Structure 1
Amino acid sequence: MKQQFNKWTLAALTAAALSLPLSNAAFADELTAPASVQSMQLAASETVDNAEEAVSDTWITSKVKASFLADDSISGLDIKVETNQGVVALSGVVPTDAERDLAVEKAKAIKGVTAVSADGLKSTE
């Protein structure tokens, strides 16, 4: 049994010794990475930022639309909602100016909304 333990110990030590030269690549510093690797990391970072922005805009649009549909005072199905970089654009036709103003206020109350454009939202009054 002692001889079997020694074989396992020797095998483990050999494997560890053989893997040491390969570990340097895994822990390479950004400063020592080739320019092509750094540019790929930068491109990946920009892609992630763009994806986060798109998700945020989609989330804002969904929240605004849901708040309209949950409010009996707003014709939620008649209002189109679009979001670009946190700016919500409302369009469509509502029965009154008061409903138009309420829609704008509800949209402004959503987290992440930086501005609301209601130029495309008309009232029939």
Structure 2
Amino acid sequence: MRTRSILRNSTFAAGLALAFAAVPLSQAMAHDASPPMQKSADNQTVPDKAADAWITTKVKSEFGTTKGVSANDISVSTSDGVVTLTGTVSTQDEKMRAQRVAQLVKGVKSVDISGLTVGGTPPAEK
């Protein structure tokens, strides 16, 4: 009975050691098989684009749940963490509120509100 237990434990230990030895090998093979991350023409990696898409979605979501900000009249785009808001708002206060809400989203570096017009008046030309 004792030899049976020792044999079972030894077999289990050998199998466990083999499994742990295979993990680094499979990771190394998977790493070599994957192509290097390519940068697109606009110098953004895929994770950067995904982060920008997440930020855009999150800002739109925050607009939808914030009183005093009309989510339907504001377009949101993000590039390298810089959020650009365009569209029409009814008051200067709504414009500033939209900027504050967007700035509070995690990952936002800055917010450009030059494309937001108040009451249908175009933004001042520079």
Interval of TM-score (by shorter of Structure 1 and Structure 2): 0.5 to 0.7
Residue of 46, 49, 62 corresponding to 1:51: 46
Q: Cα RMSD (Å) of the superposition?
A: 2.6
- Whose helix fraction is larger, Structure 1's or Structure 2's? 1
Given the superposition, is the C-alpha separation of residues 27 and 84 from structure 1 closer, same or farther in structure 2, using an over 3 Å criterion? Answer: closer
1:112 Cα deviation from its structure 2 partner? 0.3
List 4+ stretches of structure 1 deviating above 3 A. none
Would you say how many aligned residue pairs link Structure 1 and Structure 2? 89
| Aligned pairs for 1:36-115 within 5 A | 44-47=36-39, 50-115=45-110
Normalising by the residue count of structure 1, what TM-score does the alignment of the two structures yield? 0.63
- Structure 1 stretch displaced more, 69-78 or 56-65: 69-78
Q: Aligned partners of 1:45, 1:120: CA distance in 2, in Å?
A: 34
Say which one has the larger Rg: 1
Q: Aligned partners of 2:28, 2:68: CA distance in 1, in Å?
A: 59
Gaps (5+ residues) in structure 1? Answer: 1-25, 29-36
Q: Aligned partners of 2:82, 2:72: CA distance in 1, in Å?
A: 20
Gaps (5+ residues) in structure 2? Answer: 1-26, 122-126
Identity of aligned residues (%): 33
Normalising by the residue count of structure 2, what TM-score does the alignment of the two structures yield? 0.62
